[in-house]
Amino acid sequence: MFTHSEYEFSVDEEQSSGEVFVGQVVAVDRDLPPYNNVIYTLLFPPFSVHDNTPAFRIIAENGTIVACRPLDREVTGHFRFSAQACSPTNACSTAHVTVHVTDINDHAPVFLLPASPNDSVSVTDNFRRGDVITRLVATDDDVGDNGRVGYQLVDVDRVVDFYFRLNDVTGDILARQDSMATGSYTLVVAAVDAGTPPRRVQSALTIVVNISTSGELRRPWVAVGGSDNLTVVIVIVGTSLPVAILLLAAIAVLLRSRRRDERAAVTSRNVYDSKPSLDGVVSSQEYATLSRGRTTTKLATAAASNTNNLVQLRSTPTSSLTRLDINNARSSQV
């Protein structure tokens, strides 16, 4: 029956000149005529998603497979179906058929940046020579060289050539100088694929250079790549972590101080506000009141004693003088 159990064919996409030859399957019947005639059919042929018509058909007499309509690789890259060969006695065999759709350069690149409304970039005037200012991004639906995109600057004037240069592989726009005059710069850019013949698309990118509000020299933009974003995250975390540690330490000190004050307040209340005991023992507050009363009494007694001594001291010289005068008087009478 079939000379092969698997058949593989290739056909270019977008061929629109009627039916296109894809390949041929072959089956052999060893019977003698007229029983050796083979009839070919397709089992479950693929249909078009647009108009529900078969994408392929097979010529029943010789097994030739043709494409009934243009094929688009960007929609379906390959097809797989089965072919059947039957003899007049209904002896049948099957073989699997795979048709690969070959890419042609039928798509031009498409810009993602610049693209309306994302067709301008604002940066500061802090540059070092070789810094990446921004990056062109374009895609192409084709594959291989047909889908490989390169970049070009178009209609470059002296000002643009003085300040900017383009990496034609990555699409990076880099600074040529360590500083740049503020203002707007319009760059006409193109994306070109590597197909034969190549396809290209043009666009315009406006770069707005503003005055930096800081004297610190820094990168004017953050690249699309994840490594630069990771660097920014590490810098932010490294800067914030010491501040967070200091804040936690300050909170811990405040909490410790507050607990110490609360313990001191509780101790004071226990000393001065303790309740009377059930046995009638004098409380701490009463004891303090009695002690103050006794102290006051002692001070009053001491003050009175000092007053009496002072009176006695003051009265003693007078008595002595009186006695002296009496004695003198008696002597003169004698």
User: In this model, does residue 39 exceed pLDDT 90?
Assistant: yes
* Enclosing H/E stretch for 281: none
Sheet strands (E) in 87-142: 92-102, 110-113, 120-124, 132-135, 137-139
* pTM assigned to the model: 0.57
Structure-derived torsion over alpha carbons of residues 239, 243, 249, 254, reported in degrees to the nearest 10? -170
The confidence score (pLDDT) of residue 52 equals: 78
**Residue 207 · residue 187 · CB < 8 Å:** yes
**Residue 129 · residue 165 · CB < 8 Å:** no
Q: Where are the alpha helices (DSSP H) in the chain?
A: 158-163, 226-272, 284-333
- The DSSP string of 175-223 is ESSSB--SEEEEEEEEEEE-SSS--EEEEEEEEEEE--SSSS---SS--
User: In this model, does residue 116 exceed pLDDT 90?
Assistant: no
**Residue 154 · residue 188 · CB < 8 Å:** yes
Euclidean distance between CA atoms 291 and 288, whole angstroms: 5
Euclidean distance between CA atoms 85 and 28, whole angstroms: 9
Tokens read off for 9: 């064919």
The confidence score (pLDDT) of residue 221 equals: 46
Spatial CB neighbours of 140, under 8 Å, sequence gap ≥ 6: 107, 108, 109, 110, 146, 147, 148, 149, 193, 199
Mode of pairing for the β-strands spanning 92-102 and 6-12 = parallel
Residue 257 pLDDT level (bands cut at 50, 70, 90)? confident
**Residues 169-194: tens digit of each pLDDT:** 999 999 999 888 999 999 999 999 99
Query: How many CB atoms are closer than 10 A to CB 180?
Result: 21
**Phi, psi angle pair for 149, to nearest 5°:** -105, 135
